[in-house]
Amino acid sequence: MSVKIGYWAPQERYEPYQLLENTVLAEKHGFETVVTSDHFHPWFHTKASSGFAWVWMAAVAERTRKMEIGTGVTAPTMRYHPAIVAQAFATLGSMYPGRIILGVGTGEAMNEMPLGFGWPKFKERLDRLKEAIEVIRALWSGEFVSYEGTFYRLRNAKIYALQKKPIPIFVGAGGPKSAELAGRLADGLLTVVLSPEYYRQTIVPAFEKGARLAGKDPDEMEKMVELKLSFDEDYEKAEESCRCWMANEVPNVISLPISDPRELEKLGKKEGDIRAWHITTNPEDHIKVIEDHIKLGFNRIQLNSSSPDEKKFITRYGKEVLPYLKEKYGTNRR
């Protein structure tokens, strides 16, 4: 598979219109895909935003020409009924065929608890995700669907605005159970590599097991990774610009029933860090980081920049990083 280099659009970091402008600029400079976070609350409070991803995606699709657009990730389990997710993305797919991607996952407390939901244990969240994918797939068949699950029910439900091309589903996975579900029920995997060893020894075997149980060849399935980067000629500025994300790096934070961004921010300052961020003063340094992940088998690389000057990041990487990667690994290969 050829490799696609994409732009990660964090709703938390920018106001929706500024994020839109950044993404339009990213396509202009050669980024082929965009994946955006889908949250109700952001990961932090100070200078944060949190636009509605689906509305924003439609605006991006209108302002760009070819860029693929997806979520990283939507939780189709509590605040969103999976049938509504199916309808929303089918509508996007019918309007922008071949350009829409649905990333799904088990979610975060900060997005569900503010709307009155509890925060169940991981097993229930994974079971909900499994049922939700089944509901979405069934509705995308175009037939009238009745479904009786543990969590969701349908009574002769049918979606009329169907996508013209199948919409790929990626499952976000940070552990073996989610990775196996991705292989079994999805079209691809979306993850963050905490260590190459953990990815090779835990995530990959589980993903491949799930795919084979479903009669699929895991080598033919797509694998997407979020790479966390920050660039500035001033290293201290590039480093400081990542600190807003410290709550995101607190161990096992996904399992904690914390929904207030002010509390998440305090927790991040107390227990988080920025070790997951690749910080540099030279864009070419990140070529090796990206190549290392391509060698792990990823064919979709989403660059999540926390650079102090985002337009400079997009422009410099479009000129100094993307041409080399496209020539060696992408659609420009001869």
pLDDT in tens, 216-242: 999 999 999 999 999 999 999 999 999
Residues 19-39 have a mean pLDDT of: 98
Tell me the one-letter amino acid at 243.
R
pLDDT value for 1: 81
Q: Report if residue 13 sits inside a domain.
A: yes
pLDDT value for 333: 63
Q: Report if residue 149 sits inside a domain.
A: yes
Q: Report if residue 334 sits inside a domain.
A: no
Q: How many domains does the chain have?
A: 1
DSSP state at residue 140: T
Name the strand (E) or helix (H) holding 170: strand 169-172
| Residue numbers annotated as active site | 39, 108
Residues 318-323 have a mean pLDDT of: 97
User: Can you read off the two tokens belonging to residue 234?
Assistant: 């001033």
pLDDT value for 55: 98
pLDDT value for 331: 63
Is the preceding peptide bond at 24 cis, omega within 30 degrees of 0? no
Q: What is the pLDDT of residues 286-317, one digit of tens each?
A: 999 999 999 999 999 999 999 999 999 999 99
Q: 30-59 burial, b for 16+ CB within 10 Å, e for fewer? A: bbbbbbbbbbbbbbbbeebebbebbebbbb
pLDDT value for 57: 98
Q: Would you say how long the chain is, in residues?
A: 334
Confidence of residue 332 (pLDDT cuts 50, 70, 90): low
Confidence of residue 330 (pLDDT cuts 50, 70, 90): confident
pLDDT value for 203: 98
Q: What is the pLDDT of residues 255-288, one digit of tens each?
A: 999 999 999 999 999 999 999 999 999 999 999 9
Confidence of residue 164 (pLDDT cuts 50, 70, 90): confident
Q: What is the CATH number of the domain that holds 244?
A: 3.20.20.30
Q: Give percent of the chain above pLDDT 70.
A: 99
